[in-house]
Chain A
């Protein structure tokens, strides 16, 4: 859905999943609404709209951020990666594969946020302990799994990625 352009609109240019976009956007539009509604890339989910649940996590210049409490205009001249960037074609990313094999998801709504948070964790810490995993994932809420399978998936993903 296209927001009506008003005086409060700005032209922004940003890269999402390697593709450059130029769009006029109302200054009040959040980054997640922009990505989902303007660009039609809907893998990033909105769970709470106040930066607590982590479902809307995207990579912003390589750092995980909450796209529900950022504005689209703040992404001008920056690079964003969403869950759609992780797999190539039908080939799952090792983190996705590990989540699949360990039943690290049920309804799947929180999953994109978890996957990107784990991607960031493992890029900094290729062999995290259980305690480190729990600490790093404590900003992402899953209402279905009870987290045991997610923690197992992260450990499995770390093994896969060290083997690569």
Chain B
């Protein structure tokens, strides 16, 4: 079995200063005072502004582009179309780049054919953003419309890409055991077709970039990248045919990531390209309509499921046909989203026989990628709904059917028998039944569920459960560099990114726990490719696990050096010294001490003893090729008014285990934020298309995000019962645990509230119209 490299000396967290304390976040003071530096807050002298002309057609051939009139308009500097891009290449896949997907990749500008509404057609550069946007209407593009396909299950549509025989980008199977045999032995079979709607991360800050060629340093500088800056520097270098070291990517403050922000999009090539061409700084800020049609969508999947059971509820096997709506192109995530769906579909349950066939299909919609708990929000929702349907058919309690099929603590580590991201899925630790019991207890599910059912009222109350496993801490590595300068100032640098989650605070806490200084005395730098040679980034709930572990080891190295130099200065043995409150002192004579600054001064090349290498500057790359799995259980209580069909989530309970928390309040914020995003996708958010492929949800009036009045009370409880054995700080990622189970729990709660009509519940988001349709047959009977 794969494992992390090296032995871990587990730290005694309970005695450590810094870890486990809910200190106030270090980044907040600048944010609270309006002093953050988000991309649109940055200005460079002599800067030009870009706007992107996007296709109004979902599928069409471009027969002509006329820019002559547009070029004469005030302020216009240049206009680029595909023909103007010198030796342009398609945008490569970041995760699992299978060669078979190459025909479906996107070029930065459309080459004679557009495949979704929003497909970039031309780039305008002007002296102001207003002028650049004015000119969008002055470029005359002739389109010859082609047949439009917006249905991933439509098998006879015209191929979207020239080199492909059809629109199936990928068709593969994940399986274990013998499904046929399982279904032969079945005493009961439950079937469900479940659909997850199309929605996305929608960070409150739209994307943006500034690129500038610095002639003094002979370097292309790009501000605005985040998430995976080192990888994207490599992509840009490849696409521009430059050396990697001649490009610097700089992450500003970032207004939310959620998986969609920071991938390499067409604009990530176009803006640097224009800056290089014009030798002037160029800025592009995405507007909200563009964000909703150009930034990755996610989630749109259809699950055709069959589950074989014994009469007592024991699961014998599951068959799934999974259709994934990929949109117009394969982007940087390749087919990782449906692959993750297929890999994690079994969830926290013992499924001895399993077969999932995935079809990832291109359609004339915005390309799809990852969004917080990608593939798992969908598969967890589908599986948990299937379980409740089986429980209903077999007249078994929803808690019981889960309890009897959950993986037990003694089964750990548990090999699921599936794989994703090049790794076998192996759950490392966790007490899954305990999490379920705890959420049942916390919500008083048993006591309240039947009490709250009032047949006479128009308001129907329902409770729904979902259990989940979340993959976190994806490898292969992350690095941290810690320096202490001769004034004693401590700086931590990493290749991980701060997308709003509080990375600066988390890493400062981890470093402070080793160096026994106050976390707010540590500066954390991130997201600049010049800070550290190698970096992976912030996604897959990995930053605390991977970068945090790197910080821990780098801090240990620097601590060792501090003790060595102090021992020399104090004329004693290293073993006689400890670090306490940032000072190095003798264990037996704690009044004999040196401050960190004093030792730092002794470490300088000027003062350092000749037999010791000078300097306090250590880098550690933490490497691990096995994910660590968090888990938990969610219960949602809803109230449905059967007159208006309004669905009101009343209360959410989440019990989760992430091993250890560095900052418990920050973790709680991740859980709550994820849960509300998930409720958005379960009740409000959906990208809708009309039959001609027009996006009809292009504003916040049509694409609804949850606000305070749609948000229920949230209660969460963190269990620290299964510390990760794969890293020295014993943590698992927290960012996706809040959202992972909420869709399924909400769907099950609606089904519970609808009583006899509940078995119809087969889709997210659940809107009042859908509730009305599900209730219809019953109302027809009673009328």
Contacts and interface: CB of A to CB of B under 8 A. Distances in A.
Interface of A: 1, 3-4, 26, 28-29, 36-37, 40-50, 52-53, 55, 82-84, 86-87, 92, 96, 99-101, 103, 105-112, 115, 133-135, 137-151
11 contacts: A3-B130, A4-B131, A99-B28, A100-B28, A107-B31, A107-B253, A108-B27, A137-B707, A138-B709, A141-B700, A149-B665
A47 B36 CA distance: 15
Contacts of A149: 665, 668-669, 672
A133 B25 contact: no
Contact of B205 (A44, A99, A107): A107
A50 B33 contact: no
A114 to B, nearest CB: 10
B32 A138 contact: no
A52 B30 CA distance: 25
Contacts of A151: 708
Contacts of A137: 707-708
| Most B Cβ at <10 Å: residue of A47, A115, A140 | A47
A137 B38 CA distance: 24
B500 interface: yes
- The 3 tightest CB contacts between A and B, nearest first, are A43-B34, A107-B500, A108-B31
B315 interface: no
Contacts of A55: 204
Contacts of B676: 145-147
Interface string B692-723: 00000001110001011101011000000000
The secondary-structure label for the interface of chain B is: loop
B47 interface: yes
B75 interface: yes
Nearest to A44: B34
Given A45-B255, A108-B28, A146 B672 contact: yes
Contact of A92 (B25, B27, B32, B287): B32
B127 interface: yes
| Most A Cβ at <10 Å: residue of B28, B206, B287 | B28
Interface in B283-303: 287-288
A3 B128 contact: yes
A86 B33 contact: yes
A52 B473 CA distance: 36
Contacts of A37: 43
Given A106-B673, A134-B708, A134-B709, A46 B40 contact: yes
B254 A107 contact: yes
B27 A28 contact: no
A142 B204 contact: yes
A107 B256 contact: yes
Contacts of A105: 25, 28, 31-32
A102 to B, nearest CB: 8
A126 B258 CA distance: 35
B501 interface: yes
Contacts of B220: none
Interface of B: 22, 24-25, 27-36, 38, 40-41, 43, 47, 49, 74-75, 127-128, 130-131, 201-206, 253-256, 258, 287-288, 499-502, 665-666, 668-669, 671-677, 699-701, 705, 707-709, 711, 713-714, 738
Nearest to B27: A108
Given A146-B672, A149-B669, A140 B288 contact: no
Nearest to B679: A146
Contacts of A52: 699-701
Given A26-B130, A92-B33, A143 B701 contact: no
Contacts of B29: 92, 100
Contacts of B127: 4
Nearest to B291: A48
A109 B38 contact: yes
Nearest to A28: B130
Contacts of A142: 204
Contacts of B47: 1
Contacts of B707: 137-141, 147
Nearest to B24: A100
Given A50-B288, A53-B700, A4 B205 contact: no
Contacts of B254: 107
A49 B98 CA distance: 39
B255 A100 contact: no
B711 A146 contact: yes
A56 to B, nearest CB: 11
A99 B32 contact: yes
Given A29-B130, A141-B705, A110 B711 contact: no
Contacts of A86: 33
A63 to B, nearest CB: 19
A78 B736 CA distance: 46
Contact of A110 (B22, B27, B204, B668): B204
Nearest to A144: B673
A43 B315 CA distance: 55
Given A36-B40, A133-B708, A143 B32 contact: no
A62 B672 CA distance: 33
Nearest to B288: A48
B205 A43 contact: no
A49 B288 contact: yes
A1 B7 CA distance: 55
Contacts of B675: 146
A99 B32 CA distance: 8
B32 A115 contact: yes
Contact of B74 (A4, A45, A145): A4
B76 to A, nearest CB: 12
Contacts of A41: 34
Nearest to A52: B700
Contacts of A106: 256, 500-502, 669, 673
| Most A Cβ at <10 Å: residue of B25, B32, B43, B668 | B32
B711 A147 contact: yes
B503 to A, nearest CB: 11
Given A100-B24, A111-B31, A142-B204, A47 B288 contact: yes
B673 A145 contact: yes
A52 B500 CA distance: 21
Contacts of A45: 38, 40, 204-205, 255
| Most B Cβ at <10 Å: residue of A4, A43, A145, A148 | A148
A105 B32 CA distance: 9
Contact of B255 (A4, A109, A138, A140): A109
B669 A145 contact: yes
Contact of B25 (A28, A29, A100): A100
A60 B676 CA distance: 31
B699 to A, nearest CB: 6
A141 B202 CA distance: 11
Contacts of A145: 669, 672-673, 676
Contacts of B27: 108
B706 to A, nearest CB: 8
Contacts of A103: 22, 24-25, 665-666, 668-669
A115 B272 CA distance: 36
A50 to B, nearest CB: 6
B292 to A, nearest CB: 10
A150 B699 CA distance: 25
Contacts of A1: 43, 47, 49, 128
Contacts of A133: 708
B130 A84 contact: no
Nearest to B254: A107
Given A108-B500, A109-B38, A143 B203 contact: yes
Nearest to A111: B31
Contact of A143 (B705, B709, B711): B705
A148 B22 CA distance: 16
B48 to A, nearest CB: 10
B34 A82 contact: yes
A133 B709 CA distance: 9
B552 to A, nearest CB: 23
B24 to A, nearest CB: 5
A43 B288 contact: no
Contacts of B666: 103
